[in-house]
Structure 1
Amino acid sequence: MSDSLEERQAPVLAAQEEIDYTSIPEDKARDRRLRFRLDAILMTYTVLSYTLKFLDQSNYTYAYSSGMKEDLNLYGNELTWMGTIFSIGYILGTIPTQLLLTYIRPSYFLGTVEMIWGVFVLAMAAAKHVNTIYAMRFLIGLFEASSYPGLIAVLASWYTPRELGKRVAILQSASALGAMWAGYLQAAVFAGLNGAHGLAGWKWGFVVNGAITIPVGLFAFWCIPDSPHNSRARWLTAEDIEYAKIRMARVGRAPAKGLSKATLRRVFGSWHLYSFALPYAFWVINGQAIGFLILWLKSTKRYSIVKINLIPTGGYALEIVTAIGFAALSDYLGMRWPVIVLTGVIGLFSAIVLTVWDVSFGLHFAAHLLIFSTIGGSALILTWVSELVGDDAEARILIVAILNTLAYVFNAALPFAMYPAKQAPHYKWGYQISTAFWIAGILIITGIGIYERKTRGKAQSKTVEDALGESASIESEEKK
């Protein structure tokens, strides 16, 4: 039985070089069946895995406000360092892990690294000094680095441009689910397990997080179908895999051919890499301000620790709704950049309000919440890039990885200048810098959108001219 799928695929694989997939007509029934299976298994795993990834990434802020600060005497910039050290690990891990993904099946690689970082989350519960937290945060960042760009690469190998935006938005929304889980879990753990077996409530939070993450990593070996050109997924038939190749060929999505010097030259000579680097980094660094809602709530002295952990979950719910809604709108319009700009305008409004600061409680609360609705913009940026370089699988993987790395370089360097922990929650320069980033990002994305539309129009005109010329040539030959 173990060889049955490969045996059924053998004739298909042997003949694939001879097949012109783009000439095969669309089969709506096969299309629906394939998408249903991908959504039911690949997307279910994707959401669960990335939810836990973000839970494991963000749980330290909830632990900090639930007793870790007092237990470990964290009264300086330690909270900022925890975020920065994670970012350093993430920066060092992103590109090497994406290079490994061009050689190792994602189903093997992504599941393995998820189990490893789950162990490091568990280890944070044993921390008696902040240095232990720093070490574990670095290692978690190093191993989590493969998750986001790796999952996007897998999704881009199976979904068409009319489908990909919503799926990447759902992936991005899973980060909000993770943060919501972190709030609910920390609140429940603090209320029910604080002091149990001699462990403080914040330590129990790490135990629970790690214990959930490790078994989910095992599911990757079965749930991730790799790519249509090398899939061995048992939940897809040979016919499903064959039709997936047809779908990808029809939208110009090329299979991976292996990394080479020519690939690196294409990547680093691509205008996409340099044009999108700054706006993507701006969206990511500005989006980090969602984490400061909990610190502002604590400073108001209006709420208990349990409520402080629960209230931000409303913001994450808003993030989910808006990210999926904006992606659906973008897919429907067939355009990315106007919707990305819309999320930037919302972020600009929030940054201006928080720069002013001395506003009503309601407006202040709204400004913090609206930042959550900008997160979907960064997901749409990566979706857009993946589509623009869809005909080059290796370039697609590396450009997304490099953009993600550069964004985390910003995350590692800028928080000390923008959001020093000693100034929390009223940062002297943070929201002013954020305002400038939003303005610059909106202008760059608008410029890219106009440029891409013009070049696409020229390419389409040339294609039509070539087709007409070929038709005229055939007519002339027939007359002769």
Structure 2
Amino acid sequence: MAKASSFRAYLRSDKSPEEKKLVRKVDFFILTFCCLMYFFNYLDRSNLTQAYVSGMKEDLNFKGNQLTQITTIFTCGYIVGMVPCNLALYYIKPRFFFPSMCIVWAGLTMVTAAAKKPEHIMAIRFFVGVAESSTFIGTHYILGSWYTEKELGKRSGIFTASGLAGTMFGGFIQSGIYGSMNGLSGLSGWKWLFIIDGIITLPVAVYGYLLFPDTPSTTTAPYLNAEERALAMSRVPEVPEQKPISLSFVKRVFSSWQFYGFVVLWIIAGETESFSSNSLLNLYMKASPEEDYSVSQLNDYPTGVPAVGIVSTLFWATLTDYLGGKRYLVAYWIAITGIVTSAMLLSPNASVATHFGAYYWAGSVYACQATFFAWANDALRYEEDSLRAIVIASMNLGSNAVNAWWSIIFYSADMAPKFTRGMWAMIGVSIAMAIWTCGLQIVEGRAARRRLAATEEVMSENVEKQTVDDSQKL
């Protein structure tokens, strides 16, 4: 009964009517734009593999692991763009920066339809990676700027789920395009996928230019009045600020426990997502010796992986908010999932149904995206914004830097359908995830106790000072 009452209180919230109204406005304009942006971001990422299994491989004469090489080159562009993009948000209003990046990657996506050989796509995807690197880390920086600790998990979850929805619907979209537009105007269905994907991204950019609210301290959004802007600023701690391009700031970054703790956490977590992020189910089906799947099946069946990811993301994001920010719980779930699903796929007697079941279950590890970046935002809530921006960007940079070569070594397309080496790697990183999370919990707990002690000391000094002043007046 007590738990039920606690859950009802959690749902009701203790915000004032004015604050509730503010949060509704911020939710609508930030989440609609960021979620749409991320939806098309992931739609663009997933369409490469979908195009590959829908005729691009044969039309452009792909050889060996060239698809994996393209993915790696995209990752390199993503890595190059991450820190500069998050630093750019410190100098350029997000309302201008985000939509501009949308337009860049939309244009490059459409150009992909004109590629004549795999090398052309390699060059294009590098620059697509640079442009798309702004979205994920930039949005988490923005979410941490507007939302409180009790609100952040759910919003991060909704944002992450939108990207997974892009992956999921990409399969259905490609299937529909292939069935209805293959051969239209002399273009293959996979080419139409790139063209349409780019075109439908452009209206999102226009929406962002017009209505995205920037950050609480810089917003000029017409739908927020002066009182609401002041309220937005009061909802997050006032922290010291420091210019991000200076030697003292660089020293500050490399002396912070948050930098090492969360960057390594996300490097490990990024590799536990490898089942899904490398589209292994698609490649397993394409190379399967047991079944000959149709183009529609190759596009439709793998959509179950991001579908599981969406449910898992929203569940864990909401649960960890309700439990007061215990984001670390997700790490232990991921560790269990990685070990068990890998063991299922390594079994010499694993059936087709077992393979599908393992890949679908592995989709639940996507929950770490929302919860771990919310965890980092929580841990950096009392630090300067520039440090928070760098740590969040470095988390994704570190993960992608490892993934750039990790996918080639363990999940190359020519290793399908078994990926035996990758399964053992997954077991290793899953164990590492559990161990690192345990250590990070300990360090974070000590830092929280030190901050509380410092706050109490300052309060005590202020009380003593006030007492002395009062006695002098008497």
Equivalent in the alignment of 1:425: 417
- Structure 2: which amino acid aligns with 1:421? A
Report SS of the residue matched to 1:76.
Answer: coil
More off after superposition, 373-382 vs 469-478 = 469-478
1:238 paired with 2:226, answer: yes
1:315 alignment counterpart: 305
- Superposed CA RMSD in Å reads 2.0
Of 326-335 and 285-294, deviating more is 285-294
The structure-2 alpha-carbon separation of the partners of 1:77 and 1:270, relative to structure 1 and needing over 3 Å to count, comes to: same
Cα distance in 1, alignment partners of residues 412 and 171 from structure 2 = 23
Report the alpha carbon displacement of residue 476 of structure 1 after superposing the two structures with TM.
Answer: 7.4
In terms of mean alpha carbon deviation, does 453-462 or 52-61 score higher? 453-462
> Equivalents in 2 of 1:200, 1:393: separation in Å?
47
Task: State how 1:45-444 maps to structure 2 within 5 Å.
Answer: 45-249=33-237, 252=238, 259-290=245-276, 291-298=279-286, 299=288, 300-301=290-291, 303-334=293-324, 335-356=326-347, 358-390=349-381, 391-444=383-436
Does the C-alpha gap of structure 1 residues 127 and 476 become closer, same or farther in structure 2, counting only changes over 3 Å?
Answer: closer
Q: TM-score, normalised by structure 1?
A: 0.89
Name the amino acid aligned to 1:273: F
Verify the 8 A CA contact 1:353 1:364 in the aligned structure 2.
Answer: yes
Per the TM alignment, residue 255 of structure 1 is displaced from its structure 2 partner at its CA by: 6.8
Unaligned 5+ segments in structure 2 are 1-13
Query: Given that residues 283 and 417 in structure 2 are in contact (C-alpha distance below 8 angstroms), is that contact kept between their aligned partners in structure 1?
Result: yes
The one-character-per-residue Cα deviations of 1:261-284 (angstroms, maximum 9, x if unpaired) are 322221122111112222211211
The offset of 1:468, in angstroms, is 4.8
- In 1, Cα distance between the equivalents of 2:73 and 2:460? 58
Answer whether contact 1:87 1:141 (CA < 8 A) is retained.
yes
The 2-side partners of 1:27 and 1:183 are apart by 41
The letter of the residue matching 1:262 is S
What is the distance in 2 between the residues matched to 1:62 and 1:325? Answer: 28
Worse overlay, 135-144 or 287-296: 287-296
Query: 3-state SS of the aligned residue for 2:146?
Result: coil
Q: Which residue of 1 aligns with 2:6?
A: none
Question: 1:310-363 CA distances to partner (integer Å, 9 max, x unpaired)?
Answer: 112222111111101101111111121123322332223222322335323333
Question: Counterparts of 1:186 and 1:357 in 2: how far apart (Å)?
Answer: 33
Worse-superposed segment, 296-305 or 153-162 = 296-305
Note if contact 1:338-1:446 (Cα within 8 Å) is conserved in structure 2. no
The amino acid across from 1:68 in the alignment is M
- C-alpha distance in 1 between matches for 2:156 and 2:296: 32
Residue 21 of structure 1 is matched in structure 2 by none
Partner of 2:5: none
Deviation for aligned residue 1:301: 1.8
**Tell me, what secondary structure is at the counterpart of 1:101?**
helix
Corresponding residue SS for 1:336: coil
AA matched with 2:417: P
Contact 2:262 2:391 in 1 (8 A): no
> Counterparts of 2:407 and 2:103 in 1: how far apart (Å)?
29
Query: Could you report, residue by residue, the CA deviation over 1:71-110 in whole angstroms, capped at 9, with x for unpaired residues?
Result: 1111311110111010011111111222222111111011
Q: Give the letter for the 1:348 counterpart.
A: I
Distance in 1 separating the partners of 2:258 and 2:94: 25
Which residue identity is paired with 1:388? A
Q: Would the alpha carbon gap of residues 256 and 357 (structure 1) be closer, same or farther in structure 2, given more than 3 Å must change?
A: farther
State the distance in 2 between where 1:101 and 1:473 align: 41
1:416, CA displacement in angstroms? 1.5
Deviations 1:2-43 (A, max 9, x none): xxxxxxxxxxxxxxxxxxxxxxxx961111001100111210
- Aligned amino acid, residue 389 of structure 1: L
Aligned residues: 453
CA distance in 2, matches of 1:112, 1:121: 14
CA contact (8 A) 2:158 2:314 kept: yes
8 A contact 2:272–2:334 mirrored in 1: no
The one-letter amino acid of 2:274's match is Q
Show the counterpart of 1:17: none
Name 1:448's counterpart in structure 2: 440
Q: Is the 8 A contact 2:263 2:391 kept in 1?
A: no
Secondary structure at 1:373's aligned position in 2? helix
Which residue is 2:8 aligned to? none
CA distance in 1, matches of 2:329, 2:59: 48
Aligned equivalents of 2:296, 2:187: Cα separation in 1: 18
Paired with 2:229 and 2:348, the residues of 1 have a C-alpha distance of 55
Query: Secondary structure of 1:102's partner?
Result: helix
Secondary structure of 1:425 counterpart: coil
Q: Which moved more, 1:118-127 or 1:310-319?
A: 310-319
Report the Cα distance in structure 2 between the residues aligned to 1:231 and 1:396, rounded to whole angstroms. Answer: 19
Conservation of the 8 A alpha-carbon contact between 1:86 and 1:141: yes
Q: Distance in 2 between matches of 1:477 and 1:116?
A: 61
Give the Cα separation in 2 of the matches to 1:239 and 1:475.
34
List runs of 5+ in structure 1 lacking aligned partners. 1-25
SS of 1:414's partner is helix
Deviation at 1:471, TM superposition (A): 4.3
Q: Is the 8 A contact 1:90 1:141 kept in 2?
A: yes
| Higher mean C-alpha deviation, range 329-338 or range 46-55 | 329-338
Deviates more, 1:439-448 or 1:347-356: 347-356
| Superposed displacement of residue 213, structure 1 | 1.3
1:430 Cα deviation (Å)?
Answer: 0.8
| % same residue | 32
Q: Which amino acid aligns with 1:316?
A: P
Cα-to-partner distance string for 1:146-175 (whole Å, 9 max, x where unaligned)? 111111111111111111111111111112
TM-score normalised by structure 2 residue count: 0.90
Alpha-carbon shift at residue 441 of structure 1 (Å) = 1.4
Inter-partner Cα distance in structure 2 for 1:477 and 1:279: 49
CA-CA distance at 1:472 after TM superposition:
6.0
Which of 21, 34, 51 is residue 33 of structure 1 equivalent to?
21
For 1:476 and 1:242, locate their aligned partners in 2 and report how far apart those are by CA, in whole Å: 34
